[in-house]
A and B are shown apart, each in its own frame.
Chain A
Amino acid sequence: MRSLLLFPLLLTSAAAADAVVTYDEHIKPIFREHCLKCHGEDEQKADLNLANFTSVLKGGSGDKAVIAGRASQSLLFQAITAEDDSERMPPKKAPLPAPQIELIRQWIQGGLRESSASKSLVAERDTSFKPAATLNFDGPPPMPESLPTFTPPKLKRPLPIIAMAASPRAPLIAVAGHEHVRLVDANTQKELGVLAFPEGQPNVIRFSLDGRVLMVAGGKPVQSGSVVLFDIKTGKRLTTIGDETDAALAADLSPDQQLVALGGSGKVVKIYNTADGKLRHKLTKHTDWITALTFSPDGKKLASSDRAGGIHLWDATGGGILLSLAEHKAAVRALSWRSDSRMLASGGEDGLLIWWDAKDGWPAITNTNAHPPVRPTGYYGKLPNGVLSAAFGPNGELLTAGRDKQVRLWAANGSVLKSFANETSLPLQTSITFDGKGLFAGDAAGAVRYWTAAN
């Protein structure tokens, strides 16, 4: 009879998220069936006893067995879902049936309730957006005024929009082109000018917090890489930072414009002084190519991600590590800070879109399949479902792009507000204008599309 009850739970896991899974009713019978012979009252291999709720929480010699709200980081869940036969529990046996694994996952995610009368052990998280105090900048919003003339060469095909940014203060969008950056009026969508970037491909474009400086990072693959700062009004090159042997794949300018962080295939994050171009810190914790770097708007933290799914939070000025955010299983493609510096969004090739609480590195909101592709009939195998871009707007809203060729607008609480299809080409970059009214997406065919948030 029980299986009749379990399957609907699995099939409608979204709907069942509210259904309460408890130790007494659901989990202990599973443990009894598969685990208690070695981890029970009579024998406690690895000092682990799963026969009563208190000892489950206590864990074993290897540390806590379960962490409320985080199945992926719970040893017990890792043990029953290990791919490798020699690492998986129960040993020398087939894995637990999928419905039982799903129940255990739901029980951990739901906060390890003992009985239906128990409360979830996961604290409620406040994900609401409270605008940071308005910064007072001198003068009018910076817009290009007297850019040098530069005519990009005529090409048969444009560069895919591999980088794009919106000014935080002005109706201005900067878009990557082949060895140049185009500046476009966000209201009229007219091109205001072009900045030459003879260094190569612009892989990252960022505006400074005051909107006056444009950072362009990139280079020539496996040849050279650097970061160039431009004055947005005059188009003047302010400084060039870094002399890398490969193009910079990730970079950011600190809010006070004192620091530039850059990284790429070298797996090292380098932090340079903008004033003298000197290397200040080398952050060497990543195990794969650096894919994204971003300073928090309050200037306190630097977030970095890599192609193996690792994300680290650093002390932006001291260079020490603060937190490691482990959840992604594949390359992280995008990082973005909410303007209140309380939330960091990450998106990756594993389909995960996560809103991290920057205070303690907890995944406050996790969407496991933020851009689910439609499976063509008769098509087998994994469909790429990566999240390629994520950019917060001024009001805590998030604009993402994914391999499902959709551009998606999310509310601060993680719910979908709108989806826009970009059928003809893969959207690579997203930006929200300073006033939150314009939504931009750049795609692999080199086109930029525009929607208004109002409709």
Chain B
Amino acid sequence: MFRSLFVTFLFAASVIAEEAPSFRRDVMPILFRSGCNQGTCHGSARGKDGFMLSLFGYDAKGDYYRITQEMVGRRVNLAAPEQSLMLLKATGKVPHTGGELFKPDTKYYKTLLAWIEAGAPDDAGAVPQPVEITLSPDRIAFEGGKGTQKTTVTARYSDGSKRDVTDLALFATNNPATAKIDKNGIVSASGRGDTHVFARFNRFTIGSEVIVLPQDKNYAWTNPSANNYIDEIVHDRLQKLRLLPSDVCDDETFIRRLYIDLTGSLPTTKEYREFMADASKDKRTALIDQLLQSDGFTDLWTDLWAEMLRVKGGGYAPSATDVKAADVYYEWIREQIAKNRPLNEFVADQITGTGSNLTNGPANLYTMLVHDVKVTPKNLAADFSQLFTGVRIQCAECHNHPFDRWTQDDYYGWVSFFTGIQRKLGVEPREFYVFNDLSAAPAKHLVDERPMQPTVLGGESSVPKGKDPRQALAAWLTSPKNELFTRNLANRMWAHLMGRGLVEPLDDMRVSNPPTNGPLLDALAKHLGDSGFNLRGFIRDITTSRTYQLSAKPNKTNADDTRQFSRSQLRRLRADVLLDAIVEATDGQRGFTYFPKGTKAIQHYPRSPGDTTRPMTGDPFFETFGRAGRASVCVCDTKFEPTLSQTLHMVAGDTVQSQIGAGQVIEKHLKAVTPPETIIEDLYLRALSRKPKPDELKSLLELVGSDTKDRKPYQDIFWSLLNSTEFIFNH
């Protein structure tokens, strides 16, 4: 039938020497190390200059095809291996946008050449895969602010073998102002502080902590007392970094801080006076316990959860996010917070939520996380992960997560939990039944379109078939053993109370973004899980700690510290809390469209007669002061940055002035002929929860003058207090 003729160069497989480099084990890491497959080069989705590689090498099979098969004879030249374009390009012998990557006398060149000389073979059968990498040493301390340290990266493979891959890894530092790391893995100190350096190899990222300390012979630990485990761990960290905690704040500062943090309200003058008059030693703890049981606490923490869960009510029925649905959801959340429902059960109920959006509150997780007429499983999966684990798993959609452990397998297995989520029309246009269609096809892997069964993040095997996989999802997610969940919740609550998360941004938990105090986050997460996810208990732990009660005033060691909680951080009030604070301080009144009179800002969630897809804050004041528009799950939607329009609004807008007018605080005082110093003190207590200092009082009395009936100077004083940084900030 056919004859094979001419020179059929029959090089049998035996020619491929046993020591021929493996494409996956030896060649791919060189492409990674040399930067060939990074996003700005051939790893870009469309490749670069006509040649594409998978980003950071997630698709070895595809890369082999593109290098050897796509344009046979061009990229590798089996007849004249050293003339292969990939070698000429890498050594800069021909024009190459990426320039010269290595020289011909390097191991990199020799390995690639040997592979091409061996016939550029594909790997036969399975190749041992890296399963873990280590970076040693895992802690580096530079005394005296100087020094260098060599690090070593070791990969462990699926066959149990280990290999030093330092010269195949990529290195990075989180803060070059503290420590740098070069391409050979050598760390050098640059300035005081603590940071992490990282090594990346294959799909793994791993970090080592670096602490750089100046020579400081005068530093002496002052042995502050520790109220609980939080203080012990923080103190340990501060000692290592040669920082001293500030003093504990005074009672005036404490009461204002605690009220704002736990209830979203300012203490009334009565509450202030009672607390200040209380001489008992444990009055702070008593106040904490009292506020944890208050309605204000329930309101504030409902508000925080409703914001995270994107509760918004609209009038466009097909989105399934009608005001009635939002209300049912909101009330359900409030009920859970009120009865201190364990947070894991609270979340689990929502994950398995099924049934009518108008009658079953928790089912609205699948309407409010969506705000669209159709459920897009990938979006839902990404939002779900970001919200409940702090992991941005969507990075692994198109490639393995470059700076974390997540692979495309993780991503598509995760998405498959959500491919069956559906809503079908109920008995009226606003009503939708949420259910999980168990016959829905799972997500397909991007690289090879393999159907991926639902699998939890980092999970080895998929969940059992037949049952609603959301049961398994909820059980896994909300287990006290699931650090993704416990750390995320602990970090978010810590951030609310301390002004900064141990990991920032809160919703970007990854290996390459480690906590500023790892043992503390571990301990908080463990206590949260061990306590049965007791919301109030956990907040009690934090607020009773000495660390929470520190003054914002720096000492000579900690003026620059913003990450280690050696002093209290100034925090601008949330938009809704700020509005309530203005209303409370002035005895004013403020309503909201679509809400009954007397609704507080923290009891408000955005409502509109239309579609709920767009960002909605529900009030112009909220818009100005950065309340989340709830158009995404991103923590960044709640803004704390000062803006010019905020200043203008406070100075000249209709809120402060009109609330002062509405509350008639000054008028009532003048009518009662209250002495000027008492009026001024009352205004101070209302706005700042503290008495005026003698010099403040003195100059203000001068301002008021002798005309005791003139309300104008008092209005100016009140207006100034409400416009002061001290009012707008929690401290």
Q: Give A residues with C-beta under 8 Å from B.
A: 92-94, 155-160, 162, 175, 177-178, 182, 184, 189, 191, 201, 203, 220-223, 245, 247, 265, 288-289, 307, 379-382, 384, 420, 426, 428, 444-451, 455
A170 to B698, CA, bound (A): 115
The count of chain B contact residues (Cβ–Cβ below 8 Å) is 38
B80 at the interface (CB under 8 A from A): yes
B7 at the interface (CB under 8 A from A): yes
A245 to B94, CA, bound (A): 10
A449 to B6, CA, bound (A): 8
Interface residues as binary, B77-101 with A (CB distance below 8 Å gives 1, 0 otherwise): 1111001010011000011100000
Q: Which residue of B lies closest to A94 (CB)?
A: B374
B219 at the interface (CB under 8 A from A): no
A223/B94 in contact, CB under 8 A: yes
A191/B85 in contact, CB under 8 A: no
How distant is A85 from chain B, measured CB to nearest CB, in Å?
A: 9
CB-CB contacts below 8 Å: B90-143 with A? 94-96, 117, 119
B73/A157 in contact, CB under 8 A: no
Q: Which residue of B lies closest to A157 (CB)?
A: B78
B119/A157 in contact, CB under 8 A: yes
State whether A159 and B73 are in contact (beta carbons under 8 Å apart), knowing that A447-B6, A449-B5 are contacts in the complex: yes
Residues of A near B95 (CB, < 8 A) are 222, 245
Q: Which of A92, A157, A265, A288 contacts B79 (CB 8 A)?
A: A157
Q: Which residue of B lies closest to A440 (CB)?
A: B5
A247 to B1, CA, bound (A): 37
A221/B85 in contact, CB under 8 A: yes
A450 to B6, CA, bound (A): 10
12 A-B pairs with C-beta separation under 8 A: A155-B80, A160-B73, A177-B79, A222-B96, A379-B448, A380-B445, A380-B448, A381-B449, A384-B65, A447-B8, A448-B6, A449-B2
A222/B85 in contact, CB under 8 A: yes
B717 at the interface (CB under 8 A from A): no
Q: Which of A92, A220, A447 contacts B9 (CB 8 A)?
A: A447
Residues of A near B694 (CB, < 8 A) are none
B6/A184 in contact, CB under 8 A: yes
B83/A220 in contact, CB under 8 A: yes
A384/B445 in contact, CB under 8 A: no
How distant is A331 from chain B, measured CB to nearest CB, in Å?
A: 9
The number of inter-chain residue pairs (CB within 8 angstroms) is 105
A160 to B77, CA, bound (A): 9
A178 to B50, CA, bound (A): 24
CB-CB contacts below 8 Å: B336-381 with A? 373-374
Residues of A near B2 (CB, < 8 A) are 420, 449-451
Q: Which of B50, B72, B80 contacts A162 (CB 8 A)?
A: B72
Q: Which residue of B lies closest to A420 (CB)?
A: B2
Residues of B near A446 (CB, < 8 A) are 7-9, 79
A445/B9 in contact, CB under 8 A: yes
Residues of B near A265 (CB, < 8 A) are 50
Residues of B near A245 (CB, < 8 A) are 95
B79/A381 in contact, CB under 8 A: no
State whether A158 and B9 are in contact (beta carbons under 8 Å apart), knowing that A222-B94, A380-B450, A426-B72 are contacts in the complex: yes
State whether A289 and B50 are in contact (beta carbons under 8 Å apart), knowing that A222-B88, A380-B449 are contacts in the complex: yes
Residues of A near B72 (CB, < 8 A) are 160, 162, 426, 428, 444
Q: Which residue of B lies closest to A220 (CB)?
A: B83
Residues of A near B5 (CB, < 8 A) are 189, 448-450
A449 to B448, CA, bound (A): 33
A155/B6 in contact, CB under 8 A: no
Q: Which residue of A lies closest to B83 (CB)?
A: A220
Residues of A near B6 (CB, < 8 A) are 175, 182, 184, 189, 191, 447-448
Interface residues as binary, B420-457 with A (CB distance below 8 Å gives 1, 0 otherwise): 00000000000000000000000011011111000000
Q: Is the interface of A mostly helix, strand, loop or mixed?
A: loop
State whether A155 and B79 are in contact (beta carbons under 8 Å apart), knowing that A221-B85, A222-B85, A449-B4 are contacts in the complex: yes
B74 at the interface (CB under 8 A from A): yes
B78/A160 in contact, CB under 8 A: yes
Q: Known A-B contacts: A94-B374, A158-B7. Give 4 more (CB < 8 A).
A: A157-B9, A162-B73, A175-B6, A222-B94
Interface residues as binary, B54-73 with A (CB distance below 8 Å gives 1, 0 otherwise): 00000000000100010011
B9/A178 in contact, CB under 8 A: no
A445 to B8, CA, bound (A): 8
B85/A92 in contact, CB under 8 A: no
B373/A381 in contact, CB under 8 A: no
A382 to B447, CA, bound (A): 9
A451/B1 in contact, CB under 8 A: yes
A159/B79 in contact, CB under 8 A: yes
B3 at the interface (CB under 8 A from A): yes
State whether A201 and B448 are in contact (beta carbons under 8 Å apart), knowing that A92-B374, A157-B79 are contacts in the complex: no
Q: State the 10 A-B residue pairs at the shortest beta-carbon distance, nearest first.
A: A381-B448, A178-B79, A380-B450, A159-B79, A222-B94, A189-B5, A447-B8, A157-B78, A162-B73, A221-B85
A85 to B122, CA, bound (A): 38
Residues of A near B449 (CB, < 8 A) are 380-382
Q: Which residue of A lies closest to B445 (CB)?
A: A380
Q: Which residue of A lies closest to B3 (CB)?
A: A450
B117/A156 in contact, CB under 8 A: yes
A17 to B336, CA, bound (A): 61
How distant is A99 from chain B, measured CB to nearest CB, in Å?
A: 16
Residues of B near A177 (CB, < 8 A) are 79
Q: Which of A178, A379, A384 contacts B80 (CB 8 A)?
A: A178
Q: Which of A92, A381, A447 contacts B4 (CB 8 A)?
A: A447
How distant is A152 from chain B, measured CB to nearest CB, in Å?
A: 10
State whether A221 and B74 are in contact (beta carbons under 8 Å apart), knowing that A382-B449, A420-B2 are contacts in the complex: yes
How distant is B450 from chain A, measured CB to nearest CB, in Å?
A: 4
Which of A203, A381, A448, A451 lies at the interface centre, i.e. has the most chain B CB atoms within 10 A of its CB?
A: A381
Residues of A near B78 (CB, < 8 A) are 157-160
A410 to B158, CA, bound (A): 49
A28 to B79, CA, bound (A): 60
How distant is B121 from chain A, measured CB to nearest CB, in Å?
A: 12
Interface residues as binary, B1-35 with A (CB distance below 8 Å gives 1, 0 otherwise): 11111111101000000000000000000000000
A448 to B83, CA, bound (A): 23
B7/A201 in contact, CB under 8 A: no
Residues of B near A158 (CB, < 8 A) are 7, 9, 78-79
B80/A426 in contact, CB under 8 A: no
Q: Which residue of B lies closest to A203 (CB)?
A: B73
A402 to B103, CA, bound (A): 38
A92/B7 in contact, CB under 8 A: no
Residues of A near B89 (CB, < 8 A) are 222
Q: Which residue of A lies closest to B447 (CB)?
A: A381
How distant is B489 from chain A, measured CB to nearest CB, in Å?
A: 34
How distant is B95 from chain A, measured CB to nearest CB, in Å?
A: 6
Residues of A near B79 (CB, < 8 A) are 155, 157-159, 177-178, 446
A222 to B94, CA, bound (A): 6
A307 to B79, CA, bound (A): 25
A451 to B2, CA, bound (A): 5
Residues of A near B447 (CB, < 8 A) are 381
How distant is A392 from chain B, measured CB to nearest CB, in Å?
A: 21
Residues of B near A160 (CB, < 8 A) are 72-73, 78
Q: Which residue of A lies closest to B116 (CB)?
A: A157
CB-CB contacts below 8 Å: B597-634 with A? none
Interface residues as binary, B662-696 with A (CB distance below 8 Å gives 1, 0 otherwise): 00000000000000000000000000000000000
Residues of A near B3 (CB, < 8 A) are 189, 449-450
Residues of A near B83 (CB, < 8 A) are 220
A221/B65 in contact, CB under 8 A: no
A380 to B373, CA, bound (A): 32
B374/A201 in contact, CB under 8 A: no
Q: Which residue of A lies closest to B451 (CB)?
A: A380
How distant is A183 from chain B, measured CB to nearest CB, in Å?
A: 11
B450/A381 in contact, CB under 8 A: yes
A23 to B11, CA, bound (A): 60
How distant is A370 from chain B, measured CB to nearest CB, in Å?
A: 18
Residues of B near A191 (CB, < 8 A) are 6
Residues of B near A289 (CB, < 8 A) are 50
A159 to B50, CA, bound (A): 22
